[in-house]
Amino acid sequence: MELFKQHQIKIYNSLTKSKQIFKPINEGSVGMYVCGPTVYSNVHLGNVRTFMSFDLIYRYLLHLGYKVRYVRNITDAGHLENDADEGEDRISKKARLEKIEPMEVVQQYTVDFHNVMSKFNSLPPNIEPTATGHIIEQIEIIKEILAKGLAYEINGSVYFDVLKYNKKEHYGILSGRNIEDAIHNTRTLDGQSEKRNPQDFALWKKAKPEHIMRWPSPWSIGFPGWHLECTAMSNKYLGKQFDIHGGGMDLKFPHHECEIAQSNACFGENPVNYWMHSNMLILNGQKMAKSTGNYILPNEIFTGENTILTKAFHPSVVRFFMLQAHYRSVLDFSSDALAASEKGFFKLMEAVNSLSSIKTGKTSTIDIKTWETSCYNAMNDDFNSPILIAQLFEAVRFINLLKLETETLNQEDLEQFKKVLNAFIFDVLGLENIIKTDTSSQLEGAVEILIKLRNEARISKNWALSDQIRDELLEKGIQLKDGKEGTSFSIN
């Protein structure tokens, strides 16, 4: 029997703002769409957290035996600099600044995105469509919305008529916003915008002469609005209605709100049964974001080449750190938090790798079935990875007792214990089996001695020796970093 028939998942639905029992449209199959990156720059750790959260969800659904079609798009056109449908396309702007083709920008940062997610051991989606690959589908949806009178064309651009739509439907159903309040708090249009109302959003924009990315349409040479691509691609690959739509909390409004409106207008029904949103990553007390410059790149963490951390960290340690918080909670990123997670990670790896040396007993004195149920209960409760990890450390305690032979497991229970432990650590959480060897700690000790000698050389103003120690360590791939709290190092 498939595991999903034995386990009832509860998902926090952003639409109903409550946990609901998960019932897929088609038994045994799940359609899941997640908003992917806009590929105009390197993906930062805050972006990664969203994709890692849905990788966890994808992995658990697969573990339960569901057949999952996971679609995650690549935005390579139409995402303007702000949500008011003004400014440059982000990819076109990058191409103009670097004097290269927009598709060179797209290729460079799509490859970077894939490389980063691979280092974090994330599973690729089943389908990864692009906005530029679905211009025809987007144009057809615009035609349908125009035909139903819920959009209007002006000067070659097409806008969704939010006020007209809101007469029969609720624009704001996901974010909880009231359109009447939005109208009351919005300044009157100053004549510079061609929209009828400030709340309206672009379905198609006529390209200005300097706009690089452009396609022919019935209305103008232009480009699609950012919100439209997800409606077109989710409909094409998952149907008019599907099970799960995910993304970061910042996409709830206006992006996902607009998706709901577009789908309702075109297809006559709400597109998604369960809306899921991951929360933000905090750095220096603020949300991690490219727009503010308050971010850190994954490769800067892996190499230690940054001004935030005292050392480098393995991708699996960073993944473990992020999964120790629930996907809907805010996570504070710091060097101390990563260091604590690293200790816990290696403790878990050491325990699971020592299982092969455990001797079986005639009887079992540990209730493995109850522990296994607790692991599933954690994940069944809105994919609660921190509670699952707490149960895994309970397993570490069991292993230590088994090693001391103060507790025993019979052959059947020991095999089941190994099977479940490995499934949750490696298949569900997606961690890699990295072992911290004694040589690494010995190396750290040796480097600390050299740092001490270098500091003594600097105190005595022996700059030549100080520089020699630094430079020769760098040649061996060990970079020293001098800071307010002393000298730290990273191994490249």
- pLDDT-wise least confident of 131-135, 191-195, 218-222, 400-404: 191-195
> What's the pLDDT score for residue 191?
47
Nearest 5°: phi and psi at 112? -60, -45
Q: With bands split at pLDDT 50, 70 and 90, how would you rate the model's confidence at 190?
A: very low
In the chain, what percentage of residues exceed pLDDT 90?
Answer: 78
pLDDT(457) > 60: yes
Q: What is the mean pLDDT of the chain?
A: 93
pLDDT average, residue stretch 254-282: 97
> What's the pLDDT score for residue 185?
55
pLDDT digits (tens, 9 = 90+) for 344-361: 999 999 999 999 999 999
393 touches 348 (CB < 8 A): yes
Q: At a CB cut-off of 8 Å and minimum separation 6, what does 97 contact?
A: none
Mean pLDDT is highest, among 66-80, 192-206, 283-297, for 66-80
353 touches 422 (CB < 8 A): no
H or E segment and range at residue 399: helix 385-404
How many alpha carbons fall within 13 Å on the CB side of residue 478?
16
Q: At a CB cut-off of 8 Å and minimum separation 6, what does 361 contact?
A: 408, 409, 410
Q: Considering only residues 129 and 185, tell me which one the structure prediction assigns the higher pLDDT.
A: 129
What are 479's strand-pairing partners?
490
> What's the pLDDT score for residue 6?
96
- Full set of structural domains in the chain with CATH: 20-278 (3.40.50.620), 282-428 (1.10.730), 438-491 (no CATH)
> What's the pLDDT score for residue 186?
53
Q: With bands split at pLDDT 50, 70 and 90, how would you rate the model's confidence at 1?
A: confident
Burial 334-366 (b: 16+ CB within 10 A, else e): eeeebeebbebbbebbebbeebeebeebeebeb
pTM (predicted TM-score): 0.88
Among 39, 264, 236, residue whose Cα is nearest residue 137:
236
158 touches 204 (CB < 8 A): yes
pLDDT average, residue stretch 232-244: 98
Q: Considering only residues 184 and 244, tell me which one the structure prediction assigns the higher pLDDT.
A: 244
pLDDT digits (tens, 9 = 90+) for 60-94: 999 999 999 999 999 999 898 776 677 788 999 89
Q: With bands split at pLDDT 50, 70 and 90, how would you rate the model's confidence at 438?
A: low
Place of tokens 């690293």: 342
> What's the pLDDT score for residue 486?
79
> What's the pLDDT score for residue 448?
84
